[in-house]
């Protein structure tokens, strides 16, 4: 036995590999997804047992870096109403902002005010230029707003040692991207709450073990449509009696998505807004839009500010989260964004989708949704479709949209309730 221990030396290398030393030669062996998931399943069993034995309130933490992507309002409120739980939103900062490579989203105070104005329990996870230790807040359950730009100590592979980690995507996966389920984030989650069988099948094709931590709860953001309440339309639109149009450009020229078309049509759509006096507009750029424009030198800071100012003169600019009242009160959207294609569907209204020919392809669910909209490939086509919808009132795909809403939304039960019930069944 002593001889064997001298010849074979085995130790862990991170979470995905083991290093085996044989006669002084180090060999790195990649661990299988099945092994990884079994290992973390055992970790989570211990956490669940600790929660079951806990005498005080169960603390549910939501880690947030961008309020624009906030999806958990209904779930937060369910936990808040239950005396067994104590929910809290923890405001942090994206890593690229922390490092100084993105100066457009240093929005700690803005995020804090967004949640505080809603009388929610909120605190800072990032303070004085540093990330705080999540363990200081003694979380039992952690929900992530997004998988991107997290410091290592907040990753599920680390947090799994002391809390259940959960995620609901802030954007519905409509494109053929393996990054929708990653080996560094999603694989280590306790539960990955997903929208549909379509998504489950996609993840299973990537790796059959992926389905083990997935739970179908439908798309959480669409719970906003279960509520009939809307803000006064006059609070949102400058001229609410006119045709109300949202222009929502994406940022992705320099990422794998490559669905953005702003460089080709951003000025054209602004001129279109000025050209048709029967319309009123709201400019709703992606949270990363400003960074993409400036970082890639597509626009100078002065040019970007001037562009925003022109939209403010003829309409409104909206850059925060909680945007479903805008959707509900509008008549049309022009967007090359991703999840908006699904999030806008329950309004029953049309979308004009300018297409980047170099963009990533839609998956099956995305194709089913997009066929109910109007795709255009140049500005001439865009204006033609625009006139058909706005001037001629000729929306030939309205009935088709009504028939496919059920692909992404359960009208009889909210997604938040499904998630809440699943958590309760697991820990109580």
What's the pLDDT at 231?
A: 67
141 touches 60 (CB < 8 A): yes
pLDDT tens track for 62-73:
999 999 999 999
pLDDT at 407: 85
Q: Determine how many CB atoms are found less than 10 A away from the CB of residue 421.
A: 13
Position 103 scores a pLDDT of: 84
Q: Which residues contact 276 (CB under 8 A, 6 or more apart)?
A: 386, 390, 391
197: three-class secondary structure by DSSP? helix
Q: Is residue 215 within 8 Å of 422, Cβ to Cβ?
A: yes
Going by CATH, does the domain composed of 226-407 fall within 3.40.930.10?
no
Composition of the chain by helix, strand, coil, percent to 5: 45, 20, 35
Residue among 317, 289, 282, 263 at smallest CA distance from 105: 289
**Bridging pattern class, strands 316-317 and 332-335:** unpaired
pLDDT in tens, the chain (428 residues): 333 333 333 333 346 555 555 555 554 455 567 777 889 999 999 999 999 999 999 999 999 999 999 999 999 999 999 999 999 999 999 999 999 998 888 889 999 999 999 999 999 999 999 999 999 999 999 999 999 999 999 999 999 999 999 999 999 999 988 888 998 999 999 999 999 998 999 999 988 889 999 999 999 999 999 876 666 677 889 999 999 999 999 999 877 889 999 999 999 999 999 999 999 999 999 999 999 999 999 999 999 999 999 999 999 999 888 899 999 999 999 999 999 999 999 999 999 999 999 999 999 999 999 999 999 999 999 999 999 999 999 999 999 999 998 888 888 889 999 999 999 999 98
Question: Following DSSP, what letter does each residue of 111-149 receive, concatenated?
Answer: HHHHHHTTT--EEESEETTEEPPGGGG--SEEEES-SSS
pLDDT score for 94: 95
Distance CA 274, CA 162 (A): 55
- Helix, strand or coil for residue 195? coil
Tokens of 35: 């092994």
Query: What is the dotted CATH code of the domain comprising 34-218+412-427?
Result: 3.40.50
Q: Looking at 217-373, which runs of residues are DSSP E strands?
A: 243-248, 279-283, 316-317, 332-335, 351-354
What pLDDT is attached to residue 409? 87
Q: State pTM to two decimals.
A: 0.87
| Burial 134-169, CB ≥16 within 10 A → b, else e | beeeebbbbbbbbbbbbbeebbbbbbbebbbbbbbb
DSSP state of 57: P
């Amino acid at each position: 036995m002593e001889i064997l221990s001298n010849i074979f030396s085995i130790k862990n290398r991170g979470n995905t590999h083991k290093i085996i030393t044989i006669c002084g030669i180090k060999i790195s062996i990649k661990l299988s997804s099945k092994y990884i998931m079994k290992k973390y399943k055992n970790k989570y069993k211990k956490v669940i047992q600790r929660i079951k034995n806990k005498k005080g309130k169960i603390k549910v933490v939501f880690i947030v870096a961008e309020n624009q992507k906030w999806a958990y309002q209904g779930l937060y409120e369910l936990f808040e109403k239950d005396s067994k739980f104590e929910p809290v939103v923890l405001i942090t900062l994206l890593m690229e902002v922390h490092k100084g490579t993105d100066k457009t989203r240093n929005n700690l105070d803005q995020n804090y005010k967004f949640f505080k104005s809603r009388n929610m329990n909120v605190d800072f996870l990032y303070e004085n230029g540093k990330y705080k230790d999540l363990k200081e807040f003694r979380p039992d359950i952690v929900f992530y707003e997004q998988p991107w730009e997290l410091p290592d100590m907040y990753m599920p592979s680390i947090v799994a040692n002391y809390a259940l980690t959960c995620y609901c995507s802030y954007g519905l996966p409509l494109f053929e991207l393996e990054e929708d389920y990653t080996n560094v984030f999603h694989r280590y989650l306790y539960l990955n709450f997903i929208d549909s069988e379509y998504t489950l099948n996609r993840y299973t094709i990537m790796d059959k073990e992926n389905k083990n931590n997935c739970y179908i709860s439908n798309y959480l953001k669409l719970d906003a449509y279960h509520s009939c309440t809307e803000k006064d339309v006059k609070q949102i639109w400058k001229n609410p009696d006119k045709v109300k149009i949202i222009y929502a450009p994406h940022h992705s020229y320099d990422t794998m998505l490559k669905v953005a078309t702003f460089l080709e049509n951003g000025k054209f759509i602004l001129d279109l807004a000025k050209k048709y006096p029967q319309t009123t507009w709201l400019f709703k750029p992606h949270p990363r839009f400003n960074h993409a424009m400036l970082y890639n030198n597509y626009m100078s800071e002065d040019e970007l500010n001037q562009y925003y100012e022109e939209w403010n003169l003829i309409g409104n600019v909206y850059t925060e989260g909680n945007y479903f009242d805008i959707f509900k009160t509008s008549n049309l959207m022009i967007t090359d964004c991703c999840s908006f294609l699904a999030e806008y569907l329950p309004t029953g209204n049309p979308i004009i989708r300018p297409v980047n020919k170099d963009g990533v392809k839609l998956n099956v669910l995305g194709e089913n949704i997009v066929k109910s909209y109007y795709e255009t490939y140049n500005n001439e086509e865009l204006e033609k479709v625009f006139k058909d919808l706005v001037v001629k009132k000729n929306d030939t795909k309205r009935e088709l949209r009504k028939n496919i809403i059920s692909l992404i939304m359960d009208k009889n039960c909210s997604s938040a309730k499904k998630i809440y019930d699943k958590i309760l069944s697991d820990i109580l």
